[in-house]
Amino acid sequence: MALRAGKSAPGWRTIGVLGGMGPAATADFMARLVAAVPAQRDADHPRVLVDSNPHVPDRNGALAGGPSPGPALAAMAADLVARGAEVLAMPCNAAHGWADDVLAVPGARLVSMVDAALAEAVQLRPRAIGLIAVGATLDARIYHDRSPVPVIECDRALVQPAVDRIKAGDRGRHVRAMLAAEAARLGAAGASVVIAACTEVPLVLRPSDVPVAFIDATAALVKATLAAAAK
């Protein structure tokens, strides 16, 4: 029997993805989501509805007084829910500063990327957590206020240009070395775990580049999303 519109495969709830922040990070999340399903055939995967919207107002700009991304995110969530999404994922850390706008949408069930990453970090019993993130994520304190241990911030003057370069397509050795050096600095400053709290960062940075335990927030979101979508 064919699946009706909005329905997922047996065993799965339909997943809705609020993406486009940025497009490459959304594509990375989707590729990992597919790879993480122990599927033998197409029909073993969940149905996934994706809104990759690169025109959501800039999160850094919003905290500097620009337009809020909240209304756009809420509209995306409402559309995905109306189309049948039962679980929502948002592969952008900074956008979680406006998670309440998404959660205010009737029927919206958002899997928190922040909570997923912190849950994995806390399992390692860190003395402090280092964050590699852009200014909007740091200023919104979405990790700080949820973490049970101190948070050590990255040098945003270094990380933001690196993220901008990745968004522009640069995944070369220099930008990777920039982020690896910052991860090492966080470790030297007392962080026993470093979270890649920007979805562009794991496009270039790998666990082998980091001298302490490394948590990839995108990978954590994939696991949490599939757990929430499983029936």
Q: Quick one: pLDDT at residue 10?
A: 73
* Distance (Å, whole) CA 24 – CA 114: 19
Rg (CA), the chain: 17
Q: 92 an active-site residue?
A: yes
Q: Quick one: pLDDT at residue 2?
A: 38
Q: Is 167 exposed, middle or buried (0-12, 13-18, 19+ CB in 10 A)?
A: middle
Chain-centroid distance, C-alpha 123: 19
Q: What are the extents of the domains in the chain?
A: 15-112+220-229, 114-217
Q: Quick one: pLDDT at residue 208?
A: 96
**Residue 12 near residue 6, CB atoms below 8 Å:** no
Say whether domain 15-112+220-229 belongs to CATH 3.40.50.1860: yes
Q: 198 an active-site residue?
A: yes
Helix (H, G, I), strand (E, B) or coil at 205: coil
Q: Quick one: pLDDT at residue 1?
A: 32
Q: Quick one: pLDDT at residue 214?
A: 98
Cα of first residue to Cα of last residue in the chain, in angstroms, is 19
User: Of residues 25, 73, 76, 92, which has the active-site annotation?
Assistant: 92
* Distance (Å, whole) CA 52 – CA 65: 24
- Phi, psi angle pair for 69, to nearest 5°: -80, -10
How many residues appear in the chain?
Answer: 231
Structure pTM? 0.94
Q: Which fold has domain 114-217?
A: Rossmann fold (3.40.50)
Query: pLDDT digit of tens for each residue in the chain (231 aa)?
Result: 334 445 566 799 999 999 999 999 999 999 999 999 999 999 999 999 999 999 999 999 998 899 999 999 999 999 999 999 999 999 999 999 999 999 999 999 999 999 999 999 999 999 999 999 999 999 999 999 999 999 999 999 999 999 999 999 999 999 999 999 999 999 999 999 999 999 999 999 999 999 999 999 999 999 999 999 999
- Alpha-carbon torsion angle 184, 190, 194, 198, nearest 10: -90
**Residue 200 near residue 28, CB atoms below 8 Å:** no
User: Of residues 33, 193, 198, 221, which has the active-site annotation?
Assistant: 198
Q: Quick one: pLDDT at residue 7?
A: 56
Q: Would the CATH topology of 15-112+220-229 be identical to that of 114-217?
A: yes
Q: Quick one: pLDDT at residue 9?
A: 63
Q: Quick one: pLDDT at residue 203?
A: 98
* Distance (Å, whole) CA 193 – CA 213: 5
- Alpha-carbon torsion angle 201, 207, 209, 211, nearest 10: 120
**Residue 96 near residue 74, CB atoms below 8 Å:** no
Q: Quick one: pLDDT at residue 64?
A: 85
* Distance (Å, whole) CA 28 – CA 205: 13
Query: Which structure tokens are listed for 76?
Result: 């995306």
